[in-house]
Amino acid sequence: MIIRIVKMTFKPEKVNEFLTIFDESKQLIRAMPGCTHLELLNDLKEPNIFFTYSYWNSENELNNYRNSDLFLTVWKKTKALFIAKAEAWSVEQKTVL
């Protein structure tokens, strides 16, 4: 399983716009082949910093999503709201607690 973590820092005045975009697309993302989990996290001290945290069955399925029309459309809208460049990590779970 691949865990994808993406940190996004938004212009403070654009946070609500991002939340609308996420709300409108979250079920479509969750329905992508290979996606088994998606959640949105918000930094406790910086309310304009968000993280998406998603689980994918394989790196190939994650890449298929990243090359999909859905991703390209959502990312274009989301990226326009950033105040800083997004950071992303793909990690693999090694142990289960």
User: Which pLDDT belongs to residue 64?
Assistant: 97
Give the pLDDT band (50/70/90) at residue 93.
confident
Tell me the CATH architecture of domain 2-92. 2-Layer Sandwich (3.30)
User: Exposed, middle or buried by CB within 10 Å (0-12, 13-18, 19+), for 87?
Assistant: exposed
Query: Which residues neighbour 64 within 8 Å (Cβ) at sequence distance 6 or greater?
Result: 32, 33, 34
Confidence band of 2 (pLDDT split at 50, 70, 90): very high
| E strand or H helix that includes residue 62 | helix 59-66
10 Å CB burial of residue 93 (0-12, 13-18, 19+) is exposed
Q: What is the mean pLDDT of the chain?
A: 96
